[in-house]
């Protein structure tokens, strides 16, 4: 059995050249499946706003919702490192708020770390968190909480700024950094420059690890998925077929059969 993954496990993996497999999850059953399969990191992403709540952006997601989902995931994860994603406006308005909200993920929800979006601009906040003993994962490149500022969910190509952001979050004490929606060659440069592991999503193969949104990779959603997503299953299609069969059998009386009766 695999032992518990910690932030130091991830450093060691980078050093040894072992790739890190990360997924998002938002509830107990899927977290349990991912954990049992051996994923190293489960991120309770604020992407839940889009794939679970049916919103068009992550912006309305609240701290209380994140705590609720993180609790379910942490309960299921025996091995994977569980990271709680700090939602929009839970860390931008001030240091004290940010620290208390980050602390809630560890204290109330059972996460072992938090993630927040932004590079140099959020370094002071990251420093305070790491000084308080809260491990922080950074997230640079396409940062969905800034969708309006970026003018949409757009690939980010400013190489100098991306490399500077990577270095800044490493210096601020982040234990890892998500690289989202950036050209593969820039992600490779950042990965080679930094000592901390990079986890890519739409950032090419050179990153130290990869993360995918669970609903996208399992085909649970019919929403448009970006080019970087690979569908490893079509669970949405299977569920649709199961519902159709159920309706049919209820209509014809084929269900329940004798074997389902007391
Ligand atoms: O919210 C999320 O799921 C994320 C990942 C896409 C990295 O931030």
pLDDT digits (tens, 9 = 90+) for 162-218: 999 999 999 999 999 999 999 999 999 999 999 999 999 999 999 999 999 999 999
Q: Where are the alpha helices (DSSP H) in the chain?
A: 7-16, 28-37, 48-51, 63-76, 95-107, 123-131, 147-150, 159-171, 184-193, 214-217, 235-252
Tell me the pairing of strands 41-44 and 20-24: parallel
* pLDDT tens, residue by residue, 103-112: 999 999 999 9
CB of 153 closer than 8 Å to CB of 125: no
- From CA 15, how far away is CA 18, in angstroms rounded? 8
Write the residue with the smallest CA distance to atom 2 of ligand 1.
45
- Among 74, 17, 7, CA closest to 44: 74
Task: Please tell me the distance from the alpha carbon of residue 100 to that of residue 138, in angstroms, as a whole number.
Answer: 18
Give the distance (Å) from ligand 1 centre to CA of residue 238.
Answer: 25
Which of 117, 170, 180, 188 does the annotation list as catalytic? 180
The parts of the chain modelled with pLDDT lower than 70 are 1
Q: Whose CA is nearest to atom 6 of ligand 1?
A: 213
pLDDT confidence of residue 221: 84
């Amino acid at each position: 059995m695999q032992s518990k993954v910690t932030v130091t496990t991830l450093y060691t993996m980078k050093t040894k050249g072992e790739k890190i497999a990360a997924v998002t999850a938002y509830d107990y059953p899927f977290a349990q499946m991912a954990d049992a399969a051996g994923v190293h990191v489960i991120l309770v992403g604020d992407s839940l706003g889009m794939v679970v709540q049916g919103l068009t952006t992550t912006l309305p997601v609240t701290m209380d919702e994140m705590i609720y989902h993180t609790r379910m995931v942490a309960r299921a994860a025996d091995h994977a490192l569980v990271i709680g994603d700090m939602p929009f406006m839970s860390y931008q308005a001030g240091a004290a708020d940010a620290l208390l909200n980050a602390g809630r993920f560890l204290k109330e929800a059972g996460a072992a770390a938090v993630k927040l979006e932004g590079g140099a601009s959020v370094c002071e906040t990251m420093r305070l968190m790491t000084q308080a003993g809260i491990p922080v994962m950074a997230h640079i490149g396409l940062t969905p909480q800034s969708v309006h500022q970026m003018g949409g969910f757009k690939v980010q190509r400013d190489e100098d700024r991306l490399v500077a952001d990577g270095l800044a979050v490493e210096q601020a004490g982040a234990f890892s950094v998500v690289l989202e929606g950036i050209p593969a060659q820039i992600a490779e440069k950042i990965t080679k420059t930094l000592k901390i592991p990079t986890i890519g999503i739409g950032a090419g193969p050179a990153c130290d690890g990869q993360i995918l949104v669970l609903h996208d990779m399992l085909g649970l959603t019919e929403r448009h998925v970006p080019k970087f997503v690979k569908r490893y299953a079509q669970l949405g299609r299977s569920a649709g077929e199961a519902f159709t069969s159920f309706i049919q059998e209820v209509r014809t009386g084929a269900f329940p059969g004798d074997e389902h009766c007391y």
